[in-house]
Amino acid sequence: MIQTGAHPLFQSPFQEPKEIEVEHLVEALSHWLPAQGPIKNFVHHNTLHAYQNLPFSEAVKVASQTYGARAYLPIDRYQTLYRTGRIKTSDLDWTLSRFEPSPEKRSILKAKMLTSESSPSPPSLAENGLRSHWLKKYGIDLNLRVHPLLFRLLSQYFDQGIAVWRIPHSSEGFFATIYDLVAESAVPLGVLSQPTALNLFELGPVRSIEAVLNEIVGDRTYWLRYLCELALSHPGWSGVVRQVELSPADLVVKRPIRLLELLAVELIAEYCVLESELGKVPLITEPVKSELTSPTGFQAWTSTEDLLFQQIWHEAFEAGYLSDLFLELRKASDQRPQPARDTPRFQVLFCIDDRECSLRRHLESMDPGIETVGVAGYFAVDCVFQGAEDTTPSKHCPVHIHPKHLIKETLPEKSLLRLKKKEPALHPDSNTMIRGWLISQSYGFTAAMKLFISMFKPSLKPPFASSLSKLQEGSNLVVFNQTDQNKDGDYQLGYTTEEMADRVQALFKSSGIRSENLSAFVVLVGHGASSVNNPYFSAYECGACSGKSGSANARAFAMMANDQSVRDLLKLRGYVIPNTTVFISALHDTTRDELRYFVDVELTPESKSRFEELKNYFGQALELNAHERIRKFESLDPKMSPEKALNAVRLRSVALFEPRPELNHATNSVCIVARRAMTKMLNFNRRAFLHSYDPTADPTGEILGSILNAVIPVCGGINLEYFFSAIDPSVYGSGSKLSHNIVGLVGVANGVEGDLLTGLPTQMTELHEPLRLSFVVEQEPEVALQALTLNIHTFEWVKNQWVRYFAISPSTGEIFEFRDQQMIQFQPPKGQ
Amino acid sequence: MDLLLLLPFLIPAAGSLFVRTLGQSATEKTVSKISLLSASLHGITTATLFSALVFGSRLSARIPIFAWGDDIFRISLNLDYAGILLLVLISFFFGIVVRFSRTYLHREKRIAHYFSVLQVFASGMSLVALADNLETFFIGWEMVGIASFLLIAFYRDRANPIRQAVKVFSIYRLCDVGLLISVLIEHNLGSDFKFSTLRTLIDSQQNFVVTGSHVIALLLILASVGKSAQFPFTFWLPRAMEGPTPSSAIFYGALSVHAGVFLLFRTSVIWSQIPALPWIVGAIGIVTAVLATGIARVQSTIKGQIAYASATQVGLMFVELALGWDYLALFHMTANALFRCYQLLVSPSAAAYLLELQAKGKFSTVSGFSSESWLPDRLRKSLFVFSIREGFLEELVSAIFFRPLILCGGWTRKPLFLWFSSLGLLGTLCWTMLFRVSPPFPWLISLIGLGISLRAFSAPVPNLTMSVLMASGSNFLLALAAVDHLSFQGLHELMPFLIGVLLLTLAFIPATRIATADRRETAIFFIILGLIGFPITPVFFGEDLVMDFVFHKDSFALAAFVMGFIINGIALITVYANCVMPNKEMSHEGILERIR
């Protein structure tokens, strides 16, 4: 049962590492580092993005042996799920039959799976290889000796505003900065000030790496392995350094750095430690090297029976969910009378976000005249947005889109600027000697009062809450632009009429809103979140807006669609928006269940009264939504009234001591791209991303393709980040957030000497069932397949099973699954 | 009515015991309700005591708990304005942190452990606030220390919290010896002083200064310096920030870090009498303030910065005390405790707050201008490196204390030591048996005892039981050597101590075999607590007796005994850390690596 293979890192083109320069080695290994950038732009992505070219089941195995993580949940967890009935016997049998055709072998396999015991995670590359030799043979723990100093220097170098006194940095990068510091300072900087270190620094980063590796590793074949172990001994910092290297603009205070420089400084430090402990540093000898199984010096991955069991268990776990899902979908389609295609009185456009699906259901239950539509929450407005007080714009569209347009917020009067009170407790200035003496003795007592009050009547507002790029009261947006020549920095300020018409049309087209079905009253609801005392604030916001709130996009879209010249142009293109139709935008705060409206159009008395009516519906729907949400909070009583529930969720959004203001995307499991009729009556328990789509208007699958291009990376990224953080909270996730310490405003760490943490904290993932996201599209299988293959990157997600892909035929109601490169008919397991 | 004074100590202690007894079986709700009840009762008692004081009642209590001959060990409590001030602070923070943690630690697996330890801390701090003599003060002080250790090591799935906890404990141990010895000296002087009557005592007794009070005073300063993270021990404070944020806030933001200031305030009559000592206190304060503020400036983690900023302010309080501005120091202490606790509790907001300021251009991060920029380039960079290296304080303490220990420990691992100690012990035993008189070289036994102690401390031993045996054995020998030069009369006197050590050591073996992890851990914990001489355990009283014997008699044996006390304490707590850690690859050496 045991299979082995070479690590993908060593498959071509790196067969001959002898020829490879150090730069290329670092380039090659950097691919395997966590791809999480600075914390202010927390964007969900596939934790194992680097492995996406491999099939999912292979990737998790290889990754588990690279990082020392679990591949799946421990077997006893699945066995518990089996005993409690979450995984049914039918699910397990059904899954086994997909793995093993022979019934005899199958029953042997099943018996083994039921009794098999969990094995510990394998050691990571960094713990078990060439570099760990120093610990095993000489008792020198290089991590302990070098990391604290290195992390201190890195966090100082990166510091965006915590330290009062920043490193005297050089514009030439990290290596030069440290070299300069070491050379100029009369005080030794630990091992880095040894004469050997100075000699090495003089060589520059590349040649110093070569010099050290020549001394301690020798044979170039093993260099990549050694460097990889080095980088993975602190994946958090290596990853952030790499991200900043690739996109320096992620930092407000610019700090040029290359991963190569970090590794060079670290190698110099390690060499000096070894030298001072051992005198002459010995070469890592052959026996150590030959213990590594692969000739390239890289640990090959192994596939054991255990891993197979886990894989089958896991798929059975997913099968159980699919069985329920399709049962519900079928039941709903059987019972539901075909809806009359009237023009709805209200059309409300929401983001596909799984946190919105319950609100949509509650809103529709208020009045049959309300239709909700799900679209990607940037509303086809691909832009960067600059708030009235912001000095630089930030991106407000999915990560893979590169916007060219800038939308600016302006305030009619300067006086309207929201004055943010300075909070001395959060300001580094309070931590100096003299000011600290004055502030502690004066503000200390105010702080005590604030603390006391906030314990009993939580009511924290900014400065504790994040309110980055949120729209202000009474502001205007600059959206219109006559020419495409009007530049502001790298971006074009605003959109021309034609560009606006393109965007309005694109949104209607993808969501399947036809001109004749367009309601006279349309509301676009962007979403954001407000939480206090929360370093992960960015992960709470809209994923389709790169971790920002979607209000600017919604508002910009409403302004475009309300514009007469845009409407005229659309009319020429055959899409009529009646003059009486109004577009209004709003921001849904998913933590507080609060709605803020933006009205940028003159309302007629009739639409005014409609607006009032809708506001009223929304008020009730928000209460019901809050009521539905509190069932997932263990600490709240699910029997409280909707009104109280709304109060309760608002209270927790402002409580200093609440680590779970909301549960974010926890439990997400499915994404449905279909007409609303298919999902309307279903309660997805806030687990579904819902995108509206009209299969009848898309015979070629072109529209579906463009939807999938946006939805698969965004929702798939969210899902897999939760997936892996839940599978192994200490390697892929960031552990408990209760002890986190903010480092340089770029990340969080445990204590003052820890590595940066990547992924999500357990407080966000503890309720999450790690299931891969299932995409269900309402379309004929051929068209669904055609749509998928339009974009090779999107196709990779499905082809390699990182997400699961199903199609429901609108004509026959049959279900198809993407498997073995084609759409084949799918029979979900029958639950008992 | 006087016994009311005991309540602030008893209520949380009882609450803690209750929570610990319930253990794993208790639901989170029960545990947090008990803690909330305990915090409320503590608050009510404090309010009652406060009004009693305001209305002029003089409350004080003296409870003898241990008597040996004419030697009486008393719990002595007294209510005064300084005490009530600290007690009000304790009540306030205890209430706030319990309320905060109820929600914050929701679903945390070891929430019962957390609340149990938090209450031990509140109980110990209350004793510190109300203590009227050094003995009582010391009991509270040690409770605070052990609670601190337990909460730094709250997260056990990672190695770092445990390493840092052991490091902090080692420094506490080293400095707390100051308080322990001054308790014992004071005891053996028979002066039986109370803080409340200290001034009159000193005024009446002209010779007080002569009879060892300068030693007491120096030792008390050592104890305060350790607990309040002053020069040269400042480096432990940021490293202690490994537990959940509210525990860091109440320990290192609010109360624990200011305990040293309170000790100096309480004993200022003693040390301010002696001409050189206010200068020493002031110098320590100034040096810490200047160093720590420099280090705080370059800290780029939020908790690290707050820790050094707080140590800076505590340094200034030392200066205020040295200048005789006692009440300013108390005011400053109160304000700083309130402010730093708040700062730590809201520290997760710093990212959102500062990033927003930055986005709006209201926070100059780009210029990099700071008050250091006028310095010449080379000096500036040197200063920067000096601050980044945290003033080399860790290296300094290591070089003076831990490194020599580890170096000596290395010698004890050689076979020569085994021969030397076996022969030495055997020879001494034969001599005593044959001639019925004390051997000519009593210091030999002390030396061997110390050697064994170092062996337990420094080396990876085959198993943990072996370490405990060695630590206890060395305790035994050191006590024997100290008492009347190994005569049999001395042995007789020492019986309670020896039996205590023996029983606890013997109990360790079955304790490690208890099947339920939770119970095993509790058992081991109490055994280790007994063996390290935690107040009011048999070993503690034994130590008191030993001190009684050696004081004024044999300074070498005394020094060896004290060293053994420190080293064995660290060795034993390392054993405990090893017992509770699921992480097997973390070796004894791995933990020790951190304190080098």
The pLDDT value recorded for residue B484 is: 57
Residue from the list A161, A455, A466 with its beta carbon closest to the beta carbon of B358: A161
Q: Taking 60 as the threshold, does the pLDDT of residue A534 lie above it?
A: yes
The minimum CA-CA distance between B8 and chain A, rounded to whole Å, is 21
- Is residue A491 classed as helix, strand or coil in its secondary structure? strand
- Is residue B165 classed as helix, strand or coil in its secondary structure? helix
The answer to whether A656 contacts B346, with C-beta atoms less than 8 Å apart, is: yes
Q: Taking 90 as the threshold, does the pLDDT of residue B325 lie above it?
A: yes
Q: Taking 80 as the threshold, does the pLDDT of residue A744 lie above it?
A: yes
The pLDDT value recorded for residue A117 is: 86
The pLDDT value recorded for residue A161 is: 86
Q: Which amino acid is at B288?
A: T
Average pLDDT, chain B: 85
Residue of B nearest to A430 (CA): B309
- What share of chain A has pLDDT > 90, as a percent? 58
The pLDDT value recorded for residue A553 is: 95
Q: Taking 70 as the threshold, does the pLDDT of residue A20 lie above it?
A: no
The pLDDT value recorded for residue B588 is: 44
Chain B residue numbers touching A184 (CB-CB < 8 A): 377-378, 381-382
Q: Taking 90 as the threshold, does the pLDDT of residue B149 lie above it?
A: yes
8 Å CB contact between B50 and B7: no
Of A214, A213, A211, A218, give the one whose Cα is nearest residue A285. A218
The answer to whether A39 contacts B342, with C-beta atoms less than 8 Å apart, is: no
- Per residue in A463-487, pLDDT (tens digit) is 566 554 477 777 888 888 877 777 7
B124 pLDDT band (50/70/90 cuts)?
very high
Chain B residue numbers touching A425 (CB-CB < 8 A): 339, 342-343, 346
Chain A residue numbers touching B297 (CB-CB < 8 A): 163-165, 432
Q: Tell me which of B550 and A140 has the higher pLDDT.
A: A140
Highest mean pLDDT: which range of A62-71, A316-325, B191-200, B484-493: A316-325
The minimum CA-CA distance between A323 and chain B, rounded to whole Å, is 31
Reading the block at residue B231, the tokens are 């020069």
Q: Taking 70 as the threshold, does the pLDDT of residue B174 lie above it?
A: yes
The pLDDT value recorded for residue A17 is: 47
The pLDDT value recorded for residue B438 is: 67
* Class of residue A225 by CB neighbours under 10 A (exposed 0-12, middle 13-18, buried 19+): buried
> How many A×B Cβ pairs under 8 Å?
317
Report the distance separating Cα A765 and Cα A359, nearest Å: 22
Q: Which amino acid is at A357?
A: C
DSSP, residue by residue, B559-578: HHHHHHHHHHHHHHHHHHHH
The minimum CA-CA distance between B523 and chain A, rounded to whole Å, is 27
Reading the block at residue B139, the tokens are 């009991």
Report the distance separating Cα B435 and Cα A290, nearest Å: 65
The pLDDT value recorded for residue A124 is: 83
The minimum CA-CA distance between B347 and chain A, rounded to whole Å, is 7
The answer to whether B384 contacts A659, with C-beta atoms less than 8 Å apart, is: no
The minimum CA-CA distance between B82 and chain A, rounded to whole Å, is 18
Residue from the list B244, B316, B355 with its beta carbon closest to the beta carbon of A468: B355
Average pLDDT over residues A724-740: 94
Q: Taking 60 as the threshold, does the pLDDT of residue A301 lie above it?
A: no
Chain A residue numbers touching B389 (CB-CB < 8 A): 187-190
- Per residue in A372-422, pLDDT (tens digit) is 999 999 999 999 999 888 888 889 999 888 999 999 998 877 655 555 567
Residue of A nearest to B307 (CA): A431
Q: Which of A442, A750, A752, A763 to mutate to test the interface with B (most CBs of B within 10 A)?
A: A752
Residue from the list B338, B370, B593 with its beta carbon closest to the beta carbon of A144: B593
Q: Taking 60 as the threshold, does the pLDDT of residue B197 lie above it?
A: yes
Residue from the list B107, B308, B352 with its beta carbon closest to the beta carbon of A634: B107
Chain B residue numbers touching A461 (CB-CB < 8 A): none
Q: Tell me which of A86 and B593 has the higher pLDDT.
A: A86
Spell out a b/e string for A401-422, using b for 16 or more CB atoms within 10 Å of the CB, else e.
bebebbbbbebeeeeeeeebee
B366 pLDDT band (50/70/90 cuts)?
very low
Of A619, A612, A611, give the one whose Cα is nearest residue A642. A619
Return the DSSP state at B66.
Answer: E
Q: Tell me which of B173 and A481 has the higher pLDDT.
A: B173
Reading the block at residue B126, the tokens are 């209350």
The minimum CA-CA distance between B91 and chain A, rounded to whole Å, is 12
The minimum CA-CA distance between B231 and chain A, rounded to whole Å, is 16
Strand positions, DSSP E, A230-362:
301-303, 346-351
The minimum CA-CA distance between B97 and chain A, rounded to whole Å, is 9
CB atoms within 10 A of CB A199: 12
- Per residue in A254-286, pLDDT (tens digit) is 889 999 999 999 999 999 999 999 988 888 776
Average pLDDT over residues B553-572: 84
DSSP bridge partners of B75: B63
Q: Taking 50 as the threshold, does the pLDDT of residue B585 lie above it?
A: no
- Per residue in B63-113, pLDDT (tens digit) is 888 776 666 788 899 999 999 999 999 999 999 999 999 999 998 888 999
Report the distance separating Cα B459 and Cα B589, nearest Å: 7
Q: How far is CA A569 from CA A505, A508, A562, B321, in A?
A: 10, 15, 12, 80
Residue from the list B242, B347, B352 with its beta carbon closest to the beta carbon of A537: B352
- Per residue in A186-208, pLDDT (tens digit) is 999 999 999 999 999 999 999 99
With the CA atoms of A514, A516, A519 and A525 taken in that order, what torsion angle do they form, in degrees rounded to the nearest 10?
10
- Is residue B409 classed as helix, strand or coil in its secondary structure? helix
The answer to whether B354 contacts A745, with C-beta atoms less than 8 Å apart, is: yes
Q: Taking 50 as the threshold, does the pLDDT of residue A426 lie above it?
A: yes
Chain A residue numbers touching B331 (CB-CB < 8 A): 441
Residue from the list A165, A534, A660 with its beta carbon closest to the beta carbon of B297: A165
Report the distance separating Cα B121 and Cα B250, nearest Å: 10
Q: Tell me which of B212 and A389 has the higher pLDDT.
A: A389
Chain B residue numbers touching A443 (CB-CB < 8 A): 339
The answer to whether A659 contacts B104, with C-beta atoms less than 8 Å apart, is: yes
Q: Taking 70 as the threshold, does the pLDDT of residue B461 lie above it?
A: no
Chain A residue numbers touching B336 (CB-CB < 8 A): 440-441, 444
* Class of residue B424 by CB neighbours under 10 A (exposed 0-12, middle 13-18, buried 19+): middle
Residue of B nearest to A193 (CA): B385
Chain A residue numbers touching B382 (CB-CB < 8 A): 184-187
The pLDDT value recorded for residue B367 is: 42
Report the distance separating Cα A208 and Cα B381, nearest Å: 23
The minimum CA-CA distance between B381 and chain A, rounded to whole Å, is 5
The pLDDT value recorded for residue B184 is: 76
The answer to whether B342 contacts A441, with C-beta atoms less than 8 Å apart, is: no
Q: Which amino acid is at A643?
A: E
Q: Taking 80 as the threshold, does the pLDDT of residue B552 lie above it?
A: no
CB atoms within 10 A of CB B315: 27
The pLDDT value recorded for residue B25 is: 77
Residue from the list B301, B307, B338 with its beta carbon closest to the beta carbon of A444: B338
The pLDDT value recorded for residue A681 is: 80
Chain B residue numbers touching A430 (CB-CB < 8 A): 309, 339, 343
Q: Tell me which of A276 and B359 has the higher pLDDT.
A: A276
With the CA atoms of A486, A492, A493 and A496 taken in that order, what torsion angle do they form, in degrees rounded to the nearest 10?
80
Of A402, A744, A165, give the one whose Cα is nearest residue B358. A744
Q: Taking 60 as the threshold, does the pLDDT of residue A542 lie above it?
A: yes
B575 pLDDT band (50/70/90 cuts)?
confident
The answer to whether B340 contacts A440, with C-beta atoms less than 8 Å apart, is: yes
Instruction: Tokens 């529209």: give the residue.
Output: A703
The minimum CA-CA distance between B555 and chain A, rounded to whole Å, is 38
Reading the block at residue A606, the tokens are 């009739």
- Can you list the pairs that A12-18 forms with residues at least 24 positions away whose Cβ atoms lie under 8 Å? A14/A224, A14/A296, A15/A296, A17/A220, A17/A221, A17/A223, A17/A224, A17/A296, A18/A220, A18/A221
Predicted TM-score (pTM) of this structure: 0.93
Query: Which residues are CB-contacts of A552 (< 8 A; sequence separation ≥ 6)?
Result: A383, A385, A396, A407, A409, A469, A471, A477, A526
The answer to whether B290 contacts A433, with C-beta atoms less than 8 Å apart, is: yes
Of A754, A770, A769, A763, give the one whose Cα is nearest residue A735. A763
- What share of chain B has pLDDT > 90, as a percent? 45
Instruction: Tokens 């409407």: give the residue.
Output: A567
Please provide residue A636's backbone torsions phi and psi, each rounded to the nearest 5 degrees. -110, 150
Instruction: Return the HEC string of B301-327.
Output: EHHHHHHHHHHHHHHHHHHHHHCCCHH
B12 pLDDT band (50/70/90 cuts)?
very high
Spell out a b/e string for B430-451, using b for 16 or more CB atoms within 10 Å of the CB, else e.
ebbeeeeebbeebebbbbbbbb
The answer to whether A160 contacts B302, with C-beta atoms less than 8 Å apart, is: no
Average pLDDT over residues B521-541: 85
The answer to whether B305 contacts A745, with C-beta atoms less than 8 Å apart, is: no
The minimum CA-CA distance between B132 and chain A, rounded to whole Å, is 28
8 Å CB contact between B133 and B195: yes
Reading the block at residue A587, the tokens are 């921001």
Residue from the list A440, A465, A535 with its beta carbon closest to the beta carbon of B335: A440
The pLDDT value recorded for residue A355 is: 94
Q: Taking 70 as the threshold, does the pLDDT of residue B584 lie above it?
A: no
Average pLDDT over residues A144-167: 91
- Per residue in B434-453, pLDDT (tens digit) is 876 666 677 788 888 888 88
* Class of residue B144 by CB neighbours under 10 A (exposed 0-12, middle 13-18, buried 19+): buried
- Per residue in B249-277, pLDDT (tens digit) is 999 989 999 999 999 999 998 898 888 99
DSSP, residue by residue, A18-41: GG--HHHHHHHHHTTS-----GGG
Q: Taking 90 as the threshold, does the pLDDT of residue B328 lie above it?
A: yes
Residue from the list B238, B349, B365 with its beta carbon closest to the beta carbon of A464: B349
Average pLDDT over residues A230-246: 94
The answer to whether B300 contacts A158, with C-beta atoms less than 8 Å apart, is: yes
